[in-house]
A and B are shown apart, each in its own frame.
Chain A
Amino acid sequence: MNNAFLTWFRTRGLFSWLALAVVLLVLFPLLLDSFRLGLVGKYMTYGFVAIGLVMLWGYGGVLSLGQGVFFGLGGYAMAMFLKLEASDPESTKIQSTPGIPDFMDWNQLTALPAWWEPFQYLPVALLGVIVVPTLLAFVIGYALFKRRVGGVYFAIITQAIALILTVLIIGQQGYTGGVNGITDLKTLLGWDIRTDSAKLVLYYVCAILLLLAILGCGWIQRSKLGTLLLAMRDKEDRVRFSGYDVAMFKTFVFCLSAMLAGIGGALFTLQVGFMSPSFVGIVPSIEMVIFAAVGGRMSLVGAVFGALLVNFGKTYFSESFPDLWLFLMAALFIGVVLAFPNGLAGLIDSHIKPWLARWRTAKAAAPMAPADPAPPPVPAAAAQPPEPSLPAHLAQEKT
């Protein structure tokens, strides 16, 4: 029974998930001080975007360069609620119009714009965090995928959308806070989010949501839907001729990635305490792709580690060696494409796992092997390096 459980655990890739859970929930809170833990919490929100990209890019084969848009929309929806709470008439009584956010007052607005009104209520704001990015993704995805736009053109159009949203946010200063974004966020329903204890709670909320999201995406990957996504990525026409509506599947996975990015953005706002257009535009959007690429575009857990690592690197290098950072980033982009297209997770699959397997069989062979019915794990990924981008459970079926 024990072994059956272990096999069940392994085929679902839950060991790496468990490792991530231990690192995020136990190791980091124990080892890091509250400032660094806050940083990790911030990086984790990028993890949401990264796993969305694993689903969209690794599995769906669609590269979006506009994930920052969804991250930003989620973040702004949350920030609007927090800002409205922070600018009650009492604390903004020095303004010429009390009760509206400070940047509106600076821009000579005298009343709250109508589309800000619903965001006074937390449930509406939370709904907005999820619905607004998903809806936008649906409109974009449906329009483009139905016309069989994919690949490069999709990437360019999503990038243009990222630019549009940035220009719009910066240009409409009175409604959006302009280039500074929405700042000075203080409380969530009266609960001060700036204290250390609140940050710790938010960290755990973020970590648990992230782990749940990974489980959910993993479940989708192993379902028929996941297999279909892979089939579409590799031979789109065959899937279409088999009678599947390829466009709708692609739209679905695009919406999923947008929703995850939106949740990430909202958690970002909560933990960092502001939201600005610098997390929306072209550069952050493409950096989000590199998180997934470094971690491994086929591995959910890998992508989260990728997001953490790249951001750690960014913080460390841009503090200590600012000149080196861009070179390192350039090397990352080029190296990940030329040398290890499946990222860290791919490296582990092709190097560490076979080595582990060899070590295990050697150990099992030397002392009269006790009944070890666990089949000697075939190094699935290493057995077929030319096509390394199949997930473990499918690759194993193939061998």
Chain B
Amino acid sequence: MSMTDLYNITLMQGFAGLSLFSVLLLMGLGLAIIFGQMGVINMAHGEFMAIGAYTVYLSSVLAERFVPGFVQAYFPFAILLAFMVAFAVGWLAEWALIRHLYKRPLDTLLATWGLSLGMQQVFRSTFGPKEVSPTLPDWLMGSWSPSEGLDIPINGLFVMALTLLVTGLVMLALYRSSWGLKVRATVANRPMANATGINTRRTDRVTFAIGCGIAGIAGAAFTTIGSTGPTSGSLYIVDAFLVVTFGGAASLLGTVASAFGIAQTQSITEFFLDGSMARVLTLLTVVVILMIRPQGLFAARIRK
């Protein structure tokens, strides 16, 4: 093995880690808002991602059937649509279910688990039990090889770029917009936020819906990597929660850092061990660190 081979392997390995990092981060972002900021345990988070994925699938089928010329360009619009659909369903879920349970976090957990089961069955009845994947535009396929022996998959790059974009937008929205100010005020001190004239109930609903919408974007992005089945949402849920908890629940920066840490640990151990052992080792590391440092990596200082 020559030096360039080693160099290429390191580079590709690094890219695999970064790719996993963006997947985890995209998964955790919506939850960082819903669970991290609002403290709602949304066990149906994975199903909101599945909504996004199915929306993309549906738009690809529609685009193929009715406007074949549009197939190359539908994808960005489908992502936007995925956000909107997941946003709407999230809005509905908050109105019907979550708002009654803000004071009972453990019960929220059970209720949203029930919601996730119901949604899974809806997916199964509508789209069938088989896994589906949308027809991807050509520009998302294949790989990019900047030099000999170096292959970087384009869908990985795409997810990465999307993650950067969404993370930037969320940061901007949370720390520079009036909505973000309201959210942070509500998190910090609800009665006081109410007293200053913030409609905290409305803020809650919008916040929950935006978190769900971001989950929808995540699900839409993941269609470029894998296929979607009725139960694929449930595969993500533990990872998503661990990313957010490990980062320190109320800190967005912590979510980024923990997604990075978990992804790197996973991809490096995967290089030496087989996949399942690498996963066990990574999860175990996270759990042990959480046992030693329950507040997560970045503890937010909030007066309780």
Contacts and interface: CB of A to CB of B under 8 A. Distances in A.
A333 B287 contact: no
Interface stretch (A153-161, A300-308, A346-354, A372-380): A153-161
A167 interface: yes
B101 A167 contact: no
A164 B280 contact: yes
- Chain A interface mostly helix, strand, loop or mixed? helix
A330 B118 CA distance: 5
B291 A157 contact: yes
B276 A171 contact: yes
A293 B110 contact: yes
Interface in B240-257: 241-242, 245
B89 interface: no
Interface string A55-88: 0000000010100000000000000000000000
A337 B234 contact: no
A32 interface: no
Interface in A152-181: 152-153, 155-157, 159-161, 163-164, 167-168, 170-172
A72 to B, nearest CB: 15
- Chain B interface mostly helix, strand, loop or mixed? helix
Contact of A330 (B117, B124, B234, B245): B117
Contacts of A163: 238, 283
A337 B110 contact: yes
Contact of B109 (A152, A164, A323, A341): A152
Given A330-B115, A330-B121, A159 B238 contact: yes
A151 B290 CA distance: 14
A290 B117 contact: no
A247 interface: no
A326 B279 contact: no
A212 interface: no
A156 B39 CA distance: 13
A160 B287 contact: yes
B242 A164 contact: no
Nearest to A57: B106
B114 A167 contact: no
Interface in A102-160: 140, 143-144, 147-149, 151-153, 155-157, 159-160
B11 interface: no
B105 interface: yes
B117 A144 contact: no
Interface string A327-342: 1011111101110010
**Among A155, A170, A283, A334, residue most surrounded by chain B Cβ atoms (within 10 Å):** A334
B277 interface: yes
Contacts of A333: 110-111, 113-115, 117
Contacts of A24: none
Interface residues of B, number: 43
Contacts of B274: 171
Given A323-B121, A333-B113, A168 B245 contact: no
A55 to B, nearest CB: 16
B114 A282 contact: no
B100 interface: yes
B142 interface: no
A333 B118 CA distance: 10
A320 to B, nearest CB: 16
Contacts of A160: 238, 241-242, 283, 286-287
Interface string B93-125: 000010011001111111101111110110011
A100 interface: no
Contacts of A143: 291-292
A140 B279 CA distance: 20
A282 B234 contact: yes
A128 to B, nearest CB: 21
B110 A164 contact: no
16 contacts: A147-B292, A152-B109, A153-B245, A155-B109, A160-B283, A163-B283, A164-B284, A164-B287, A167-B283, A282-B234, A286-B113, A330-B121, A333-B111, A337-B104, A337-B111, A338-B97
Given A149-B291, A164-B283, A282-B238, 19 more contacts: A65-B109, A144-B294, A151-B105, A152-B39, A156-B245, A171-B274, A282-B234, A282-B237, A286-B110, A290-B110, A327-B117, A329-B114, A333-B111, A333-B114, A333-B117, A334-B97, A336-B110, A337-B108, A341-B107
